Structure 1
Amino acid sequence: MRRDSLFTIAPHAPFLATLAERVLDGRLLGDWPRHGAFWLSDITIILPTRRARFVLAEEFARRLGGTVLLPDIRTFGGEVADEEPFLPPFDAPASKPAASLLERRLTLSHLVRLFAERAESFATPPNPAEIFWLADSLGEVMDDFTIAGIATEKLKELVPEELADNWQKVLEFLDVALKAWPAILAERGRIDAATARNERLLRQAGAASFVYGDRPVIAAGSTGSIPATAALLKAVAALPRGVVVLPGLDTSFTPDRHDRMINGETTQGHPQYGLMKLLRSLEAGVGEVVELGGETPRTALVQAALAPASETPAWPILRADIPVSRALEGVSILAARNADVEARAIALAARATLAEKKTVGIVARDQTLARRIAAELNRHGVVVDDAAGTPLFQSAAGRLARQVLAIATDDYAPVDIISLLRNAAVSLGLDRFLVRRLTDHLDLRLRSERPGAGIAGLRGLSDHAELPELLDRLDAAMAPIVTLRTRERITAPELASALLTTLDALIAEAELPGMAELRRWAEELVALDQGGTAFQPFDLEAVLEALLTGTKTQNPVPARDDIHIWGELEARLMNPDLMILAGMNEDIWPPVADPGPWLSRGMRIGIGLEPPERRQGQAAHDFVMAAGNAEVIIAYAERIGTSPALPSPLLQRLYAFIGESEAKLARARGMRWLAQADAIDHAGVPRPADRPAPNPPARIRPRRLSITEIEPLMRSPYDIYARHVLALKRIEPLGTEPSARERGTMIHGVFEKFVHAGLDLELPEALPEMMEMARDAFAGLDAIKERRDIWLKRFERAARQFLDYERRRDAEIVERHAETKGEWLFPALDNFVLVGKADRLDLKRDGTLEIIDFKTGGVPQPKDMTAFDAPQLLLEAAMARAGVFPGISPRDSSALTYIKIGLGPAAFQIKPFKLIKGMSLMAAVGEIERRLQRHVEAFLLVDGLPMAARIRPRVETGRKSYPGPYDHLARTDEWTLTAGVDDP
């Protein structure tokens, strides 16, 4: 290798612009003539990415206009079809086609499943999705061996006796798998993609002297992390006019530091590790590399901050030689409280820069954060192309596929059905507006009535003339994927084929982003001879996610030239006017050093593979290169999801080096965007709502209430106003789980039916008959069989205790009346009517009544009973004394009883009504009757008294409180001061 062939461009210098300048001024060309219109056309420049290739061409065009032809700009590896036929040896056979990632995933899934079934290395057997994830990680291990050029026989150098038992089994499996995959490829006439890339790079390296001769060749921007790429760089450096330009090499490294970097055991995570290792493969030292970008304090500061741990004691000396404040000019740190605010602040900073006619580059390792940023930019009319694309699984087509699988998995659950039918792409061959109208109707039905299981349960709700046709079409469209669910095992191609058929039937001919990519994916799967391991058809959404890994859909909107969202690979060598490093959080940038499930860190090192920290070193180098930009924003979130989050270790080291005062200044510069992010949605200082106190005229206030509405009338007349004057009724949430209220309705029905049947309590058939009634009552839960069975099992305990209770008191009871309805007319109160239904009215032998109320929810507190704040049973007793219950003559009551039907061991609890000490039951009945009439007259019959909310709120202490049905309408959270206040 020539001694004058190695150069570097420091992070602070725009890499591609500096490269173009040094080519044009001849610094990198030696004595190559630079005149005429064709002098550049014989120069070859090789770059890592296509994006860098296009940007460099633009740099040359901007400087030269149309005066000369541009250089031949290529990428490492090049294009197979374009270059291979022209590389010596010319008689070499054509390369075999490379196996796709999908083909490898399916093939290796067979091996992984067999290993999982036979080995005891897994605490629990992996599910189908995990099988495919493990197949991918196994493929990555194979890539590591191929890229590093390490023979699989190296595994034998590991001593099994030194490993744990589970690692010994994994080692045996790897020995088989790493040999089986090449054999399978050879049988199919294919090669692995990593092998194809290695062969192509090595062939280019071997042919370099023949292809380029003495013409200038410049290989720039590569760190040589792939050994085959390093071989090509070495071949270029050995050419008469070959030049290698490294990105961001720290030329301050001494030979001793260089040696410690290569031979140290914990230096793989350092940003210079890859470059220093490349220099060794080039048989060169740091002193032989020429810096093309000059010096600035920014680069010196970042390199010093990220020095190896062994060199941090020298920080005070290094810091004294660096003007820290000047080095940090143009650096802002954006410490957002969460990822949403981070994305919003980044979008605002980018928009402001674009308004100044400048360019913006946003680097995000986290694709979820990247999509958030793109959504925030779209809010300002800035459509940005995320270079990484959108994962197909999360595209519009992927979302529809997930909705389909949810319906098949949950057997047409209400939420899944409505979600699918509300998808704008779903038409089922009908007019979309008709589908929307029918969906609205079905939505209301599903909120008011619990359907049976499956499509048959939905058909049971078909009370609209056009709804059956919609459900028939839906049934036919879902048939392929629903049929798969009934099989014992399926394969990935079968899943893909059925899913594609269903999606085509759902959307008809509609355009759906990602559908073309999903169709290509499905067609590739179906076309594969080997369909992968068969699996049970459960958790299909996770299986689909695993199968779609690595498949993406690109933004169909034309990309702008002045703003981009990049991954680290795309961002390398880029230098926009503003560089934004997003998601600089721990475990994101750099990533977690995870060796994977197949080789431990020690095993990797033992066979010559790089430890997982190597990826951290590459991410750190990307950070150094990006942080050298003139204007840079470093952003991170202090919370991710619901958990606290830390800044990246790279940023933490930068904080430690520059000191707290400088760090505060950098964060203060970022506060500008955080303040704007907080202000953008600020609608002014909130104005708390006043307690609502509507005052409708008495003529439109209700003249008919149920006994359960008397307590709200006394505590919160606003609830009566909302229900009867405004005629507002609460609609249940879609797909809500069965509640205690619904359970109570079912249990009341069982008790009523049992009493009406007049069964003999002493007969042994009493309990079976009662349980049969319960099964009929709980039939509405057939769609959720587990809940039905659990409730039946728990009810059986309550039924046994109910029968025991009834047998104990049977001698005292003459008649039992269940679910008896009555209406009590008050002529003196403008014909006000009180409506009530008593759970049980039991006529005792002494001529009095015992009134029983079954409760599946909470029982009123004793203090509420004595304060007349739980009036229901007292009012039922008053109605019984007035003789308004059919079939029961006017009678006094001698006992009021609550029976709590619970879920646990205390499934049947008897709780007598609590009276004021010294007051008789009928005296309490008279008192509640007087209070009823006063409240009715005050709030319903007379103009002027507002129907205010929560005039006598219930204060719960130490108990869970629940919102009332009209709390959101009354905006109680805005004006209520009493903690734990709850309406009845």
Structure 2
Amino acid sequence: MRIFSIAPQTPFLPCLVEAVMDGRLLDDWDRTGPFWLSDVTIILPTHRAKDALADAFAAHPDFRGLLPDLRTFGGEVEDEEPFLPPFDMPAPAKPAGRLQRRLTLSELVAAWAGTVQGREAFSTPPTAAEIFSMAESLGTLIDDLLIEERSPADIRALGNEMAQELGDYWQQTLKFLDIALSAWPQWLTDRGLADPAALRRTRLDRQAEAAAFLFGDRPVIAAGSTGSIPATARLLATIAGLPRGAVVLPGLDMAMTPETHAALLDPLTNPHGHPQYGLAQLLRRFGAGVGQVVELCQVQHPRTQLVNLALAPTAETALWSSQRFDEPMLDAALAGVSIVRARNEDEEARAIALAGRNALENKQTVGIITPDGNLARRVAAELRRFDIVVDDAAGTPLFHAAAGRLARQVLNLVTGSCAPVDLLALLRNRAVTLGFERGALAALADDVDLGLLRGQRPGPGVAGLRAMLAAHLAGELKYPARKLSAERGVAIADLFDRLEAAIAPLQSATQLRELSAAGLALALGQAIAAISPEAPLPGREELATWVGDMQAVVGQGHLFAPRGLDGVLSALMAGVEVRTSVPEDRRLDIAIWGQLEARLMSPDVLILGALNEDKWPAAADPGPWLSRGMRLGAGLEPPERMQGLAAHDFAQAMGNKTIILAYADRVGASPALPSRLVQRLDAFAGAAAAEAMRLRGQGWVRAARQLDAVPAVMPAIRPMPNPPAAVRPRKLSVTEVETLMRSPYDLYAKHVLRLKPLDALGEDPDARERGTIVHAIFARFVDACDPAAPDAFARLMEIAAEEFSGLETIGERRDIWLKRFATAAEQFLDFERGRDARVFKRNAEVDGRWELRLAEPFAITGTADRVDLLNDGTLEILDFKTGSPPSKGAMTGFEAPQLPVEALMADNGGFKGMAPARTGALTYIKIGLGPDAFVPSSFALPEGLSVMDVAEAVSIRMQNQIDYFLMRDTPMPARLLPLKTQRFAGAYDHLARMAEWTAVDGEDEA
């Protein structure tokens, strides 16, 4: 039995080529003829490795043009199947598709979830998306059983063997698994299908049986496999026993002691997460020890020894103190190793991209390994800024690719009844044409946005959009942001017709009581074909293939109510990837590999990304169907086995001459730890060496931070426009008087530039709108009704029902507001009845205008909530507020001028229909449901001053500011007197770039 190993520090494929060309792996096979190399068979784990090996042979100086017979484990079904014994074996069953299995198992999961036992197993009934996801994880368990050659009987036995240890939940789960794992094979048999994992196992076993006949005494080499699949391990053992067979292992620790080897074979020591665990198990299957393995290329490097010691079994870490390297040896081992410690994933991706770009500039080959697809896409995006094309082995999940995003937008549009945000998101997607030229559609989208949707609330569906368009053309819309011509109206109507026709199949599907997965996919595919018939769209082919696959399984799968369809789509698209599309005239500059794809590859510079705990290695998750102990009890490998493979991949990669390890201190919004593999390396190497590796990587971090930085930060200055006095306003509302005091710039933007803030797209009714409606209700009541009347409450609620009827398109919100208003109505009536004895006449929503005696005519206008004439002949001005009244400090500091200015307006006869009168009280009334609702709050006056004294002081200050800022060519600064308690952005703060030059303390005023 001939077993070899290539150490991590040795480039695997070049070493393998050299060992074939010089005959070391051929056992005296004749190499004199011109075609001798074609008699050699080499079997490798992946197609990528096979292609790379062909390139390595072509680069060898003795290569003469004929390659060996290069194959992969499992082989090509069509090429090998007919030539494998037994030759009279009937044709194997066709493989069942992954999607087909997911849908079939979803029916079983859904049926179980509906039983009494299933309902007890879930805290809440599972959604359709959760059912499809659980079906996928159940399929993974079936694969595990097939790959590790266990049967449903092993699962069934758990219920008896572990009955005392398992709770009710696991007992119920095992009962379901017994049903599901029996029903699925029967389903396959009934249809003449088989699981792909079972077919692959059978094919590997047939290859092992045929090896002696196929190869005879010709050389056959199996290289690069760890034998983690039992059937593969059997094939490796068969090849190792052939006359000229050889197995070449990747990175076996040749210094492994018999004690360590024995510990890796003992499940009680929990060795599954160790990088050598898989190879130790493979040697046991061979019946061999480490001493029987030959190092193929004797290239000594201390780094491999260092990594093996750093990742030693837990029991052996006690020996570290005696095993640590001296400084020269440590420096030699870690030369060429850098660690990038980034603040977040974005910085990590940018640093990786810059390191890769630098290697390309130095004419070096570059490989990037990461198990994190999100990081891979970030790196690819960063490299695109340098026009570097990336070969991403994993690709982009279809759900997140451009075609998948378009599918989600279409789905959201339909399920959201053409809500404004969803509509504009779809129309602004560059892949959407609806039969228009793209520029024309973009112009129509602007018209729909500004002419129909801003500040409006269309009804549901395309019918609601048409009604909004008709109201606009008829002049019935209040204050549209853009006036549309009749010609543009015709074009928009055509757009709505096309959109309605495009989404009609999906609209019909989502209105069904129960929807199937295939029905959803087919309707979605039809909608996308109509919405985006020809525009370039990455992932279009994969989406079409997915729709075709779904069409082949019509009638299968769990039927579900059309709710939460975005999650359902994600679950149904799981496993479908969109590969990088590269123009024919471009080459792939940098490869991004997954851990499996990276095995055996040896670029000049190798970068390992996402070396964070729970990413590399991933968390040991046994899945929802079996606990870790149950997996072990059933004879399955525990989830830590995958961590062992990840550790082996890390150890292999560490053999590269130049390597960069990268991780982030924050992943998403949470703090993150470096991988345990990096922590082990740090701990063994020591603090000084760990710091030195990070210092070498710090250059890439600094470069990443500087990439988008500016050489010097020049703080923005407060904007102070200075338009001619003649164009400044000659009229202010009572609320704008405070704006003049606090931020003259806002008046410049509003009255000089004539900029009006756009309402947020699709904005729901909020507190401001509710407050406007409530003010209107109270005003109508005060003008027409007596609070003391027996039917006052009924009359108030009738008025409220009429005012809230404007919210008929969102009936649920209307009903809630109306119910809450009933409590406020009772409080309002109690408040008004308590004032009856001193109020002579109530005046609601009183319009006012006050002409000031300045150098030029100037007016103050406004509408007071209430101006009540009291029995003593004075006035009380009331301001009903849904928010909070001004702070005491603002009132005593003359910084809340609205009510004092209204008092001045009343004193000067400015209120319509009211004679001049002095004001004796200014009062705030909070509208709400809390204990402070409708409790009067008097305007805080400075000590010793009356209401009219304060009003006069405000008048002097107001007129001085009007004269200074509006009557002269004086700069109009922004946020001259900021309100510290303001918790929302002003209408023009973004225009003034306020965040760039100012900050306001957040404490409350006294």
TM-score if structure 1 supplies the norm length?
Answer: 0.96
Shift in Å, 1:718: 2.2
1:137-286 matches, within 5 Å, as 137-158=137-158, 159=161, 160-265=163-268, 266-286=270-290
Shift in Å, 1:299: 0.7
Q: Is the 8 A contact 1:701 1:724 kept in 2?
A: yes
Determine helix, strand or coil for the equivalent of 2:39: coil
- Aligned-partner residue type, residue 235 of structure 1: T
Q: Is the 8 A contact 1:586 1:646 kept in 2?
A: yes
1:482-881 matches, within 5 Å, as 482-558=507-583, 560-756=587-783, 758-763=784-789, 765-881=791-907
Is there any run of 5+ residues in structure 2 with no aligned partner, and where?
473-483
Shift in Å, 1:239: 1.0
**Distance in 2 of aligned mates of 1:163 and 1:661:** 49
**Distance in 2 of aligned mates of 1:828 and 1:590:** 77
**Distance in 2 of aligned mates of 1:901 and 1:751:** 11
Equivalent in the alignment of 2:453 = 446
**Distance in 2 of aligned mates of 1:776 and 1:341:** 56
Shift in Å, 1:874: 1.5
Q: Is the 8 A contact 2:516 2:555 kept in 1?
A: no
**Distance in 2 of aligned mates of 1:664 and 1:917:** 66
1:349 corresponds, among 328, 350, 355, to: 355
**Distance in 1 of aligned mates of 2:712 and 2:445:** 39
- Aligned-partner residue type, residue 162 of structure 1: E
- Aligned-partner residue type, residue 113 of structure 2: A
**Distance in 1 of aligned mates of 2:962 and 2:212:** 103
Determine helix, strand or coil for the equivalent of 1:461: helix
- Aligned-partner residue type, residue 636 of structure 1: Y
Determine helix, strand or coil for the equivalent of 1:40: helix
Q: 1:53 to 1:407 in 2, by over 3 A?
A: same
**Distance in 2 of aligned mates of 1:25 and 1:338:** 49
1:273-312 matches, within 5 Å, as 273-294=277-298, 295-312=300-317
1:360-371 matches, within 5 Å, as 360-371=366-377
Q: Is the 8 A contact 1:40 1:68 kept in 2?
A: no
Which range moved further: 464-473 or 612-621? 464-473
**Distance in 2 of aligned mates of 1:961 and 1:413:** 28
Equivalent in the alignment of 1:84 = 81
Q: Is the 8 A contact 1:38 1:68 kept in 2?
A: no
2:965 corresponds, among 939, 945, 957, to: 939
Determine helix, strand or coil for the equivalent of 2:522: helix
- Aligned-partner residue type, residue 898 of structure 2: Q
Q: Is the 8 A contact 1:812 1:844 kept in 2?
A: yes
1:383-424 deviation line (CA, Å, top 9, x unaligned): 102111110001111001111222223322222111111001
- Aligned-partner residue type, residue 67 of structure 1: R
Shift in Å, 1:580: 0.4
Q: Is the 8 A contact 2:823 2:929 kept in 1?
A: no
Equivalent in the alignment of 1:923 = 949
Count of residues in Structure 1 that have an aligned counterpart in Structure 2: 975
Q: Is the 8 A contact 1:107 1:530 kept in 2?
A: no
- Aligned-partner residue type, residue 532 of structure 2: I
Q: Is the 8 A contact 2:391 2:588 kept in 1?
A: no
Determine helix, strand or coil for the equivalent of 1:455: helix
CA RMSD of aligned residues (A): 2.0
Shift in Å, 1:976: 3.3
Equivalent in the alignment of 1:419 = 425
Shift in Å, 1:727: 2.2
Determine helix, strand or coil for the equivalent of 2:391: coil
Shift in Å, 1:259: 1.3
Q: Is the 8 A contact 2:519 2:554 kept in 1?
A: no
1:112 aligns with 2:139: no
Which range moved further: 807-816 or 386-395? 807-816
1:385 corresponds, among 388, 391, 396, to: 391
Q: Is the 8 A contact 1:954 1:981 kept in 2?
A: no
Q: Is the 8 A contact 2:109 2:135 kept in 1?
A: yes
Determine helix, strand or coil for the equivalent of 2:843: strand
Q: 1:782 to 1:633 in 2, by over 3 A?
A: farther
1:479 aligns with 2:482: no
**Distance in 1 of aligned mates of 2:790 and 2:636:** 75
Determine helix, strand or coil for the equivalent of 2:876: strand
Q: 1:520 to 1:194 in 2, by over 3 A?
A: same
Shift in Å, 1:316: 2.2
**Distance in 1 of aligned mates of 2:401 and 2:931:** 49
Shift in Å, 1:764: 5.3
Equivalent in the alignment of 1:971 = 993
Q: Is the 8 A contact 1:451 1:780 kept in 2?
A: no
**Distance in 2 of aligned mates of 1:382 and 1:806:** 74
Determine helix, strand or coil for the equivalent of 2:332: helix
**Distance in 1 of aligned mates of 2:810 and 2:23:** 77
Q: 1:147 to 1:28 in 2, by over 3 A?
A: same
Shift in Å, 1:281: 0.9
Q: Is the 8 A contact 1:338 1:640 kept in 2?
A: yes
Equivalent in the alignment of 2:39 = 42
**Distance in 2 of aligned mates of 1:326 and 1:361:** 23
Equivalent in the alignment of 2:319 = 314
Determine helix, strand or coil for the equivalent of 1:770: helix
**Distance in 1 of aligned mates of 2:719 and 2:29:** 87
Equivalent in the alignment of 1:52 = 49
Shift in Å, 1:630: 0.7
**Distance in 2 of aligned mates of 1:567 and 1:730:** 49
1:423-475 deviation line (CA, Å, top 9, x unaligned): 01111222322221121122224233333344343334323412222223222
Shift in Å, 1:353: 0.5
Determine helix, strand or coil for the equivalent of 1:968: coil
**Distance in 2 of aligned mates of 1:788 and 1:166:** 44
Shift in Å, 1:775: 3.8
**Distance in 2 of aligned mates of 1:348 and 1:942:** 55
**Distance in 1 of aligned mates of 2:379 and 2:652:** 22
1:594-651 deviation line (CA, Å, top 9, x unaligned): 1111111111111211111000000110111111101110000111122111100001
Q: 1:135 to 1:728 in 2, by over 3 A?
A: same
Q: Is the 8 A contact 1:883 1:889 kept in 2?
A: yes
**Distance in 1 of aligned mates of 2:555 and 2:589:** 45
- Aligned-partner residue type, residue 5 of structure 2: T
Is there any run of 5+ residues in structure 1 with no aligned partner, and where?
none
- Aligned-partner residue type, residue 31 of structure 1: D
Q: Is the 8 A contact 1:692 1:949 kept in 2?
A: yes
**Distance in 2 of aligned mates of 1:641 and 1:782:** 41
**Distance in 2 of aligned mates of 1:299 and 1:560:** 34
**Distance in 2 of aligned mates of 1:287 and 1:562:** 42
1:695-717 deviation line (CA, Å, top 9, x unaligned): 33322221111111111212322
Shift in Å, 1:68: 4.0
1:21 corresponds, among 15, 18, 38, to: 18
Equivalent in the alignment of 1:323 = 329
**Distance in 2 of aligned mates of 1:296 and 1:273:** 22
Q: 1:214 to 1:776 in 2, by over 3 A?
A: farther
**Distance in 2 of aligned mates of 1:781 and 1:26:** 86
**Distance in 1 of aligned mates of 2:794 and 2:406:** 47
TM-score if structure 2 supplies the norm length?
Answer: 0.94
**Distance in 2 of aligned mates of 1:300 and 1:786:** 69
Shift in Å, 1:95: 0.9
Q: Is the 8 A contact 1:580 1:635 kept in 2?
A: yes
* Percent of pairs with identical residues: 54
